[in-house]
Amino acid sequence: MPVAPNVSDYDSLYAGFSWETEKAGLSGLPNGQGLNIAYEAVDRHAMGALRDHIAFRWIKKDRSVRDCTYQELMELTSRFANVLGELGITKGDRVFAFLGRIPELYIAALGTLKTTAVFCPLFNVFGPEPVFQRISRGDGSMLVTTKDQFEKKIRQLLERLPQLRYVLLTDAEQDESGQVRSLPRLMEKASAAFTIPTTAPEDPALLHFTSGTTGLPKGALHVHKAVLVHYVTGKYVLDFHPGDIYWCTADPGWVTGTSYGIIAPLVNGVTNIVDEEEFDATRWYAILEEQKVNIWYTAPTAIRRLMRMNISPREKYNLEHLRLMLSVGEPLHAEAVTWGEKTFGMPFLDNWWQTETGGIMIANYRSMPVRPGSMGKPLPGVEAAVAEVTDDSFSIITEPGKDGHLVLKRGWPSMFRTYLHDEERYNKCFRGDWYLTGDLAKRDADGYFWFVGRADDIIKTSGHMVGPFEVESALMEHPAVAEAAVIGKPDQLIGELVKAFVVLKPEYQPDEALKLDITAHARRKLGPAVAPKEITFIDNLPKTRSGKILRRLLKARELGLPEGDLSTLEQP
């Protein structure tokens, strides 16, 4: 039986939409005690009709499967919440997780939210330096990780992280010290019953770090009220229906993996598939088949890899359950949308959002005709526009097809509430009622939005944001490096690759061996996902008169593009 889409007519839904009305789909804490993400995602289902429904199906690397019902998830997350209470973690404290896609990650996330402490995920392949930056900037009180990660990357940081009170190891049988504890032991002793305390909708819930062009990573703080956007986008964009089996391939180290790999599907009461393994085309197709996935949310990098493989999945795999395929994180080119149509019998529906927005803001909807290459139309409840922005002026562009800054009218529930310890930077993101996203876009005459590019130097590699400054800082720690500048170089597969231009100290000679040594140093410090994939030695870096590296110019030269306005260049 075909499933009718939840959005039957986008225009009338948009016109009549109200966040207040949509709230009826959430329960709120018993006795009017507020709104808590974990209660909406887990407990209310566990105490209702979905008690025995599978919340998570975790697929391990060896393909074995562990199911967890909403009732079991309630108990596990309550145990974790009690562990935090036992260790004195209280409201607002920051609990970090540095884990792969294993059950403990999901239990820690939801258990932390139950206690009103703030959950902060770290991408599992980060090297020690990005981990240190984020835990120290985020004032982490606790870190949940594995023995292996602890030994390889964390132990060396402990002295520099005096605020970190506890490290909980998911796979240690015994406590190592008062600070480094065995999570399984603590969980065993903890009660499986926990009453979620009063949670104000504006209480902080999640901290997600995102990369900036300059300076340290920015900690975008989100509140419990964000769950309303997770619920609404789950219903209208991901088109969740009762009984659906859903797979989001994003890692919870990034915001998509948290908002849409944990919260949105559970709030909507569907079954969430999690695969511990990294991308593998045949494994992915097999999962779609075996798990009878109905809704698949993935990313352009993965889609491009699949496109290259020359597998005709519908000939080899039974994908009859698949109803909807979506993509986020980078521009989804028109070819990928039409490849979806040809290969799976349905397009990939692109949608746009970012760490700061907390949830999907612009999307293609199942019932709306797709314009391949477009990000779609604003979520009902969200006002998006294109604006002309200069240092001292701001005006909305009404003319269709004209490029400008993509801006959103402030006020959607999952909007970030601050950059931690950087209110000034936060305030700079707003012009009156409008939030400046940092992206450039255009809007066509029918209201579809088209991505044009980023307004800054941030790199999107394999769907992950990398700030050039962070990479440059690590490179500069190598004894041979005098200066470094990092750009994103377009790459067919991973969107952009991290490319570094390095100026050597006078006593060093540029050669292959040194390049390899600098590369190895960067990989050790930053991890392979962030470290440069290409390094070029250069005599001088182009800079502005005020001393800022002109990455834009390096990029133009690298790509053979026009060099643009060079009026601020120090040495033309």
Binding site for ligand AMP (CB under 6 A): 210, 254-255, 328-332, 350-352, 354-355, 375, 437-439, 451, 454, 460, 465
Q: Residue 255 or residue 502: which is nearer to ligand AMP going by CB? A: 255
What whole-number distance in Å separates Cα of residue 222 and Cα of residue 206? 5
d(CA 311, CA 41): 37
**Residue 418 β-bridge partners:** 221
DSSP assigned state of 264: H
Q: How far is the CB of 363 from ligand AMP (least distance, A)?
A: 9
Complex with ligand AMP: residue 80 or 209, whichever CB lies closer: 209
**Least distance in angstroms from the C-beta of 237 to ligand AMP:** 12
How far is it, in rounded angstroms, from Cα 436 to Cα 417?
14
Cβ pair 56, 73 in contact under 8 A: yes
Residue recorded with tokens 């835990």: 135
Smallest separation, CB 527 to ligand AMP (Å): 16
Q: How far is the CB of 528 from ligand AMP (least distance, A)?
A: 18
Tell me the two tokens of residue 205: 């819930």
Compare residues 422 and 483 and give the one whose CB is closer to ligand AMP: 422
Which amino acid is present at 556? A
Nearest CA among 355, 257, 356, 242 for reference residue 297: 257
Closer Cβ to ligand AMP, 172 or 302, answer by number: 302
- Choose between 234 and 300: whose C-beta lies nearer to ligand AMP: 300
Q: Which lies closer to ligand AMP via its Cβ, residue 255 or residue 288?
A: 255
Q: Which residues pair with 419 in a beta bridge?
A: 220
**How many of the other CB atoms lie within 10 Å of CB of 373?**
17
Cα–Cα distance measured from residue 116 to residue 198, given in angstroms and rounded to the nearest whole number: 9
Residue for token pair 């480094």: 180
Shortest distance in whole angstroms from residue 384 CB to ligand AMP: 13
- Between 190 and 407, whose beta carbon lies closer to ligand AMP? 407
Asked whether the beta carbons of 171 and 146 are under 8 A apart, the reply is yes
Contact between residue 266 and residue 45 where contact means Cβ atoms under 8 Å apart: yes
Tell me how crowded residue 319 is: count the other CB atoms within 10 A of its CB.
18
Helices 468-476, 512-526: axis angle to 10 degrees equals 120
CB 353, min distance to ligand AMP, A: 6
- Helices 300-309, 334-344: axis angle to 10 degrees equals 60
- The CB-of-298 to ligand AMP minimum distance in angstroms stands at 12
- C-alpha to C-alpha distance for 328 and 355, rounded to whole angstroms: 12
Interatomic CA distance for residues 233 and 366, integer angstroms: 12
CB of 123 to ligand AMP, least distance (A): 11
Q: 469: Cβ–Cβ under 8 A, 6 or more apart, which residues?
A: 212, 213, 214, 215, 216
Which C-beta is closer to ligand AMP: that of 167 or that of 349? 349
Q: In the complex with ligand AMP, which residue's Cβ is closer, 13 or 429?
A: 429
Least distance from ligand AMP to the Cβ atom of residue 235, Å: 20
Q: How many CB atoms lie within 10 A of CB 399?
A: 10
On whether the CB atoms of residues 496 and 466 are closer than 8 A, the answer is: no
How far apart are the C-alpha atoms of 460 and 483, rounded to whole Å?
Answer: 22
Q: State in angstroms the smallest separation of the CB of 278 from ligand AMP.
A: 18
CB of 355 to ligand AMP, least distance (A): 3
Instruction: Give the residue with the Cβ less far from ligand AMP, 111 or 253.
Output: 253
> Nearest distance from residue 267's CB to ligand AMP, in Å?
20
The number of C-alpha atoms within 13 Å of 456 and in the hemisphere containing its C-beta is: 18
| Alpha-carbon gap, residue 478 to 249, rounded angstroms | 35
In whole angstroms, the minimum distance from the beta carbon of 348 to ligand AMP comes to 10
Q: Any residues with CB less than 8 A from the CB of 513 and at least 6 apart, and which?
A: none
Q: Which two tokens stand for residue 111?
A: 């258990």
Q: Which is nearer to ligand AMP, 172 or 466 (CB)?
A: 466
Nearest to ligand AMP of 331, 527 (CB atom): 331
Instruction: Please tell me the distance from the alpha carbon of residue 429 to that of residue 405, in angstroms, as a whole number.
Output: 12
